[in-house]
Structure 1
Amino acid sequence: MERREFNKALGLGAIGSSMLMGCKEETQTTAPVPIDTGFKVTPELSERMYAKALEITKRKVRGGDSEPFFKKPFVDAAFSDNIFLWDTCFIVCFAKYHMDELPVYQALDNFYDRMEEDGYICREYRKDGRPLWSKDHPVSINPPLLALAETEIYAVKKDKERLRYAYPILKKNFEFHVNRYQGEDKLFWGDTLGMGMDNIPRSPRNWTTDEGNGMTHHELGDKLGKMGGSTAEERLNMFIADYVETLQGVWNKQGRLVDFTSQMAMYAKQLMFIAKEIGEESDLGQYETFHSEVKEALNRLCWNEEDTFYYDLGYGEQVKRKHIGMYWALLGELIPEENMDHFLAHLTNPDEFYRKTPLPALSAADPDYKGWGDYWLGGVWAPTSYMVLKGLTANGKDDLAQDLAEKTYAAIAEVFEATDTFWENYAPDLISYGMPAKLDFCGWTGLIPIAIYNEYIKG
């Protein structure tokens, strides 16, 4: 969920942390970090984790007479009174195992029911059903993961009637993204905050620009912190209005995002799958053409042969910042065979993504990496870790997926043993929750004790 700058705007404090579990407070480091802490996960601990994750998720189901608008029960991230699109899609990816206990379909239908005629679905709706962001605001959409959610459900509940219901909605939403966000180069532009990884660095380090009334990177970046307002609602409204003039707000159309582009390629593949399942095969050609064009563009423009990595673009130039979002290319089926092993090698490099808790959002080789997390400047997040594992599995890289799953699961289990709960994100270089991180978060962190457990751990 895109919260770091959002929290700043509302004047919200971060959750403090003193739990370093035997480690001194660390400064930034890119030195190799040993993976094996010696902690062993027992079957009893796994059972307790699973039960606690399910209990938290059930406790945070919403809907009913107390709700001003969303009257039907639905699973929710429970971060605030608003509902969030990409959080919901990832909650579905573990709640799919408990469809008899958790109202999963309604969580998705809350968004489908709000879709506008052109296919637009806002990334966040208020508790009264109003979209928080206008369609024209750079932060108005989230990663397009609704088809991922539907196909994940279908994998465990072969409900073709559900696919028939969802398909025309998904198709229209797919077309909206193509019409509004695809550039002439076939890649997709979008907003850093809207794309989910709030403070992930996408622009060149120390970049300045003449955009935004001539303000520098530093001045633009400070703008959010200077907004006034005596109430949370006033501060939120100022954030919505002023964000457009910040560095992130002016950067959008000049950037090309590997993760968004890859997610749209994945969307096309998932629509192809659904169309075949329900007999809508006349649509297949358009998805095949789209995917082929996107794959060619991504590998021509974003692949760096020397670094063996995909990079976002800015003003047509590669922005050499390595973040976990690049691995959406796995689920997007965009990686040529000759690039695959070189690209995956970064996941097992202890100087990059193979940390004490694997798969930080930002590579440890980046100068802005934070070993304690600092949200997306190093935090380990269940949704992106799950994405990497699913992508590896989809590409037949089962051994690597298993290794990363086991190490991730063990690290989160060790934090659970100490705190008896789950957290919004985790520190990569400490056996600790991330700093900051929200507690009792299931929420997408339920992916680890439930989905990753079912798909990679229990055997």
Structure 2
Amino acid sequence: MTLTNIEKHHLLPRGMYFQKKSYEDVPLLSFEEARSSLPQPIYEQRPDYLECYWKAWEIAYRNLHVPTNESGFVSNFIDAAFNQDVFLWDTVFITMFCNLANPYIPGIRSLDNFYCKQFEDGEIPREMVRETGKDFLPWVNYDRLPLHSYFHNHYGHRRLFQTARPAFEEMFQPKLGRTVEVPPYLTLDNLNHPIMAWAELESYKHTGDAARLELVYEPNLRYYDALQYHLQNHYGLYVTDWASMDNNPRNKYLGSGVDISCEMVLLARNLIDIAKVLIDRCQSRGDKEKAAHYASQINRLDEEASQLTDTINRMMWNDKVGFYFDVQETGEQAPVKTIAAYWSLLAGVATKEQAEKLASWLNDPATFNRVHRVPVCSADEEGYDPRGGYWRGSVWAPTNTMVIRGLEKYGYKDLAKEIALNHLNNVVQIFKDTGTIWENYPPDAVDSGNADKADFVGWSGIAPILYLIEHAIGIKGDARSNELTWQLTPGQGTVGCNRYWFAGKTLNLLAKPQDDGAYRIFASSDAPLTLKVKLINNEVIHEINGDCEFIIEAVRYS
């Protein structure tokens, strides 16, 4: 019997670089079962924060899955609940609030099901059918044509499912300007946002699970190599199509994407950071050969990341405007300002001066500083939709999180917090008005705009869960240094968090305001750690193991 190309595709070997080969996991908990173990935030002045927080967890627990036998998935997972498929881009951001409840929900382990579907050349699909584990068929290059995008410039919002596959001549084929002898297994639609290693490091900072880094290093390295082979063009940049920004005004100009190009720098730098952790593990167990192997990869990755950084700054930075732009196939910069430029901060591509200019755009009411921050398209661009319009102007939790982490990297912590709290406050207000959490939000009004997906947790759980604890209450643990930092805000009243979990430790934390502006801190931990409490210009550090009580004064310096 002769097999079709589609049937041959489904029989290809997969997951050879990921050592978990079969399903293994702990039983899933229901929300009712897990609630008494989840972090319990305290914010006496804002009961609406707490109501939205618990609602977000309740919705998230509806979206937990044990994989079917047919799927070949190897771990329980949380899903975006967007449709019947699982998405790499969505899953990465879902892990970031799930890290806070790591032992009680399959957050970071959800990425296992992408690693176990990796092709021999390193490609990883960004969308798969949840029940079968098969690749989303329209984005499979089953005829092994040269790299192309199936939906490029035809991907209007709500027009995904077409009845017939167009002829190859009608598809978008990027001009790489270099010879690629072996075509990819997937289309360009299915090869974007290489950010799993970033998610792994975010998880590691909270959990301290270095063994997981060892498990995921090789799949991420192979993924990096695959994208470098298939997507790098003659400019030294990386091609993309709509890059998950489905109907953004930028799409008709792509080209080389500032997001995918910066994300490749980010992936290289993330791999370097992971390799350094693994070198320490190898040295501690006397494995000098493996440590030397990681060290050699660091040298290669560092050289490539530096070269790509130089190319991005030469071709994508516009010094006159003070912004990063996509690059068209001609080599000219695209004329649309979008949030994609801010991947340059997270990746460490921008200089200090460039970062300052990017930060200034975030404070500009005519562009990105709207009523609800931060829109994915600048408000002064043609095609911007003040009611959201999906990726024409909406505010999305994942892109906000990217912006916030990038700002923090460059020291703009106050601006990062301001954006996080703006998003949190608007999400909570709209929750109070509508009773639900939405996939995205309009930039120019505090309502649900023209979004149509409610109960979306999904990545929209980031604001009511992660931003509440990390930015509003101010608590963030760092497993690498065994430190917990608590940044208090004057006038916020009694705040804290019971059952705060990080690095295998569980803490109860409470801050009560005093008449003179100071706070009395009550803290307990079931294992040793360093607690740093900050208030205005004052910082108090305590080594705690068990119960601890102290005062932090509201010190001010002129």
Normalising by the smaller structure, the TM-score range is 0.7 to 0.9
Distance in 2, Cα, partners of 1:198 & 1:65 = 30
The aligned runs of 1:354-365 (5 Å cut-off) are 354-365=369-380
Pick closer, same or farther for the CA change 1:148–1:71 going to 2, 3 Å.
Answer: closer
Among 163, 171, 175, the residue aligned to 2:225: 175
- In 2, the alpha carbon distance for the partners of 1:340 and 1:270 equals 20
SS in 2 for 1:359: coil
Q: 2:245 aligns with which of 158, 174, 197?
A: 197
Q: Let me know the Cα RMSD of the aligned residues.
A: 1.8
Alignment of 1:219-238 (within 5 A): none
Note the C-alpha offset of 1:338.
2.2
Corresponding residue of 2:309? 295
What residue number does 1:77 align with? 80
Task: Provide the C-alpha distance between the structure 1 equivalents of 2:417 and 2:307, rounded to a whole number of angstroms.
Answer: 32
Distance 1:364 1:68, change over 3 A: same
Instruction: Give the counterpart letter for 2:85 in structure 1.
Output: N
Report the equivalent of 1:128: 132
Q: 1:72 to 1:272 in 2, by over 3 A?
A: closer
| CA distance, structure 1, for counterparts of residue 202 and residue 449 of structure 2 | 28
Q: Is the 8 A contact 2:355 2:410 kept in 1?
A: no
Structure 2 vs 1, CA of residues 373 and 67 (structure 1 numbering), >3 Å: closer, same or farther? farther
**Pairing partner for 2:443 from 413, 423, 428:** 428
Asked if 1:285 corresponds to 2:294, the answer is: no
State the shift of 1:191 in Å: 1.2
Contact 1:358 1:380 in 2 (8 A): yes
Partner of 2:382: 367
Stretches of 4+ aligned residues off by more than 3 angstroms = 64-72
Q: Distance in 2 between matches of 1:351 and 1:295?
A: 29
Which one of 114, 122, 145 corresponds to residue 195 of structure 2?
A: 145
Paired amino acid for 1:170: N
Per the alignment, in what secondary structure is the counterpart of residue 83 of structure 1? strand
Aligned pairs for 1:53-452 (under 5 A) are 53-64=56-67, 70=73, 72-126=75-129, 127-132=131-136, 133-134=139-140, 135-192=185-242, 195-202=243-250, 255-279=255-279, 280-314=294-328, 315-452=330-467
Pairwise CA distance, 1:69: 5.1
Aligned-pair distance for 1:186?
1.7
Shift of 1:361: 0.7
The corresponding residue for 1:12 is none
Counterpart for residue 208 of structure 1: none
Alignment partners' CA distance in 2, 1:76 and 1:43: 29
Name the CA distance, whole Å, in 1 between partners of 2:216 and 2:267: 13
Structure having the larger proportion of residues in helix: 1
Distance 1:100 1:58 in 2: 14
Q: Aligned partners of 2:353, 2:453: CA distance in 1, in Å? A: 41
Question: Is residue 366–residue 379 contact of structure 2 (8 Å, CA) maintained in 1?
Answer: yes
Shift of 1:451: 1.5
Taking structure 1 as reference, are residues 198 and 403 closer, same or farther at Cα in structure 2, changes over 3 Å only?
A: same
**1:372 Cα shift?**
0.3
Task: Report if the CA contact (8 A) 1:383-1:444 is conserved.
Answer: yes
CA distance in 1, matches of 2:389, 2:373: 16
Partner of 2:471: 456
Work out the CA distance in 2 between the residues paired with 1:259 and 1:403: 23
C-alpha contact 1:70 1:128 (8 A) present in aligned 2: no
Alpha-carbon separation, structure 1, partners of 2:45 and 2:338: 32
Deviates more, 1:174-183 or 1:126-135: 126-135
The equivalent residue for 1:30 is: none
The one-character-per-residue Cα deviations of 1:313-349 (angstroms, maximum 9, x if unpaired) are 1121111101111101001101112222122111110
Name which of structure 1's ranges 56-65 and 342-351 shifts more when overlaid on structure 2.
56-65
With over 3 angstroms needed to count, the CA separation of the structure-2 counterparts of 1:145 and 1:379, relative to structure 1, is same
1:9 matched to which residue of 2?
A: none
1:18-33 map, 5 Å: none
Report Cα offsets for 1:373-416 as digits up to 9, x if no partner. Answer: 00010100000011100110111111111111121211111101
Give the letter aligned to residue 261 of structure 1: S
Deviation per CA, 1:86-112, whole angstroms, max 9, x where unpaired? 000010111111112211243111100
Shift of 1:71: 7.3
* Alpha-carbon distance in 2 for matches of 1:202, 1:360: 14
Native 8 Å contact 1:375 1:437 kept in 2: no
Alignment TM-score, normalising by the size of structure 1: 0.78
What is the CA–CA distance in structure 1 between the aligned matches of 2:70 and 2:105, rounded to whole Å? Answer: 18
In percent, how many aligned pairs have the same letter? Answer: 35
**Which structure's relative contact order is higher, taking Cα pairs within 8 Å and 6+ residues apart?**
1
Answer yes or no: is the 8 Å Cα contact 1:375–1:434 preserved in 2: no
**Could you report, residue by residue, the CA deviation over 1:238-294 in whole angstroms, capped at 9, with x for unpaired residues?**
xxxxxxxxxx6xx75xx1110111111111111010000001222111111111111
Corresponding letter in the other structure for 2:360: A
Pick from 49, 53, 61 the counterpart of residue 50 of structure 1: 53
Q: Please give the secondary structure, in 2, of the residue aligned with 1:144.
A: coil
Q: 1:434 to 1:151 in 2, by over 3 A?
A: farther
* Higher CA-based Rg: 2
**Residues 176 and 456 from structure 1, CA distance in 2 versus in 1: closer, same or farther, beyond 3 angstroms?**
same
The amino acid across from 2:346 in the alignment is L
SS of the residue corresponding to residue 125 of structure 1 reads strand
**How far apart are the structure 2 equivalents of 1:373 and 1:306?**
29
Decide whether the 8 Å contact of 2:442 with 2:448 is kept in 1.
yes
For structure 2, the residue ranges without an aligned partner over 5 or more in a row are 1-42, 141-184, 280-293, 475-558
Would you say the 8 A contact 2:191–2:227 is kept in 1? Answer: no
Which has the larger strand fraction? 2
- Distance in 1 between residues matched to 2:44 and 2:355, nearest whole Å: 32
The amino acid across from 1:453 in the alignment is L
Structure 1: gaps (5+ residues): 1-39, 204-247
Instruction: Give, in whole Å, the separation in 1 of the partners of 2:307 and 2:467.
Output: 33
**Alignment size in residue pairs:** 370
Distance in 2, Cα, partners of 1:325 & 1:382: 14
User: 1:44 Cα deviation (Å)?
Assistant: 1.2
Q: Is the 8 A contact 2:75 2:110 kept in 1?
A: no
